[in-house]
Structure 1
Amino acid sequence: MKSKIITLATAALFVVSCGTQKAAPVAAAEPAAPTATETAKAVTLTPELAEGQNLYENNCAKCHKLFEPKKFTREEWTPILVRMGKKAHLDAAQMTSITNYINSQL
């Protein structure tokens, strides 16, 4: 009887852990206005940089949390992007787009 309960509990835990991906939290109706410092630091994204940001957020977040671009220097980002680009099977154009986005945020 104990083994049936343990097996059932293990199966239930497995099913729950393999469930669908959680949805992102919904933003508040009125987002807080950016401070003067944030506005000064914000870089206007061109369509090319916006595409790089989109690729970065959608491809990199599949496997791990996203790091703020300023967390690492340009020299530190280079090998990280090369290694992760290979793991994510990104082509050269996608890698260039992501690299340009990261570099624009530094």
Structure 2
Amino acid sequence: MKKIILFAIIAVGFIACTSQKTNKGTATKTPIKTTTPANENMAQGKVLFENNCGKCHDLPTVEKFNDEKWKSIVDWMAPKAKLTSQQADMVYLYVSNSN
């Protein structure tokens, strides 16, 4: 019985010592950027290309195809790789600017 009372006292003390404040965030006067620079999109496109396209087959070199051919490849393969349209655009940006 003494152990239960001691445990209850410790539990109440622990709960009483924890902070009850909620984080309401901080206001900022600078706008949050919703777009990323082109070079960041290219870097993300490279990662998507290597990770998603390389899962199923060997990756061709980006120099192997011209921009028009890459566009048709990305349009055809993006749904199979379950890429969003934004991700497909990043992959195309990477391959078209790297060839």
What is the match of residue 66 of structure 1? 59
The CA RMSD over aligned residues, in Å, is: 1.3
Q: Which TM-score applies when normalising by structure 1?
A: 0.55
> Which stretches of structure 1, 4 residues or more, deviate above 4 A after TM superposition?
none
What is the match of residue 48 of structure 2? 55
Residue 46 of structure 1: how far off its partner (Å): 2.1
Residue 79 of structure 1: how far off its partner (Å): 1.2
Distance 2:41 2:68 in 1: 22
Distance 2:84 2:92 in 1: 12
Distance 1:52 1:59 in 2: 10
Q: Please list every run of 5 or more consecutive structure 1 residues that lacks an aligned counterpart in the other structure.
A: 1-44
Distance 1:82 1:64 in 2: 17
Distance 2:41 2:73 in 1: 21
Q: Does 1:76 align with 2:69?
A: yes
Identity over aligned residues, as a percent? 35
Q: Which TM-score applies when normalising by structure 2?
A: 0.59
